[in-house]
Amino acid sequence: MTTARRSDATRAAILEAARERFASDGYDRATIRSIARDAGIDPSMVMRYYGNKEGLFAAASEIELNLPELGGLPARHVGAVLVTHFLERWERDDVLTGLLRVGVTNEAGAERMRAIFAQQLGPVTRGVCPDPAEAPRRAALVASQILGMALTRYVLRLPPVVEMTPEEIVAWLGPTVQRYLTAEAP
């Protein structure tokens, strides 16, 4: 294991400031200078520890969705469970919002987003959909609805979406996700 470094606190401060700035400003407007200011250090420290701006973003956008195992629960609940989980994940911190913002304007961000959904959402769907060969497609359909909700609620802030309670969102979106996962292919 790697031993603790004296600079660990600084590294963490940079990473936290970076996540917030990327989330609220997007890749271009989140400047290294502003991130350094938030972290209370010099911009050159960012370069020293993360190489360059792309490296910083790569480090700041490492994400674990921590999706639940869907295998053990009644098949007709997986939609609601999945929507609930994503909603909580999105409300807890703004890393995912940041990733969404950056994924839209930056190819590295888009690639990161593709990887996360392929590696973390894909496997979970494999166990619950009728034909495993169709798992990627069904996961992508789920992603389209989940990300659309995140986009309209946390980024574009369409008023009717913002005003809905989490319970209402689960009630509306749960059956949709459910159908994308388990229904016969149309």
Residue 52 sits in the site that holds DNA (CB under 7 A): yes
Q: Which position has the token pair 């972290």?
A: 39
Residue with smaller CB distance to a second copy, 40 or 148: 148
Q: What does 63 bind: a second copy, DNA, none (CB cut-off 5 to 8 Å by kind)?
A: none
Residue 75 sits in the site that holds a second copy (CB under 8 A): no
Contact window for DNA (CB under 7 A) among 38-46, 83-91, 132-140, 163-171: 38-46
**Would you give the DSSP letter of residue 98?**
H
Q: What does 99 bind: a second copy, DNA, none (CB cut-off 5 to 8 Å by kind)?
A: none
Torsional class of 153: left (φ above 0), alpha (ψ -120 to 50), beta (otherwise): alpha
With beta carbons less than 8 A apart as the criterion, state whether 155 and 101 touch: yes
Q: State which of residues 7, 10, 120, 152 lies at the interface with a second copy (CB under 8 A).
A: 152
Q: Rounded to whole angstroms, what are the CA distances from 104 to 110, 134, 155, 166?
A: 6, 26, 11, 25
Give the containing element (helix H, strand E) for 174: helix 166-182
Q: How many residues bind a second copy (CB under 8 A)?
A: 45
Dihedral angle computed from the Cα positions of residues 178, 181, 184 and 186, in that order, rounded to the nearest 10 degrees = 90
Q: What does 32 bind: DNA, a second copy, none (CB cut-off 5 to 8 Å by kind)?
A: DNA
Stretch 157-186: interaction string toward DNA, x if CB under 7 A: ------------------------------
Alpha-carbon span 154 to 125, nearest angstrom: 25
Q: Which residues bind DNA (CB under 7 A)?
A: 5-7, 9-10, 30-34, 40-48, 52-54
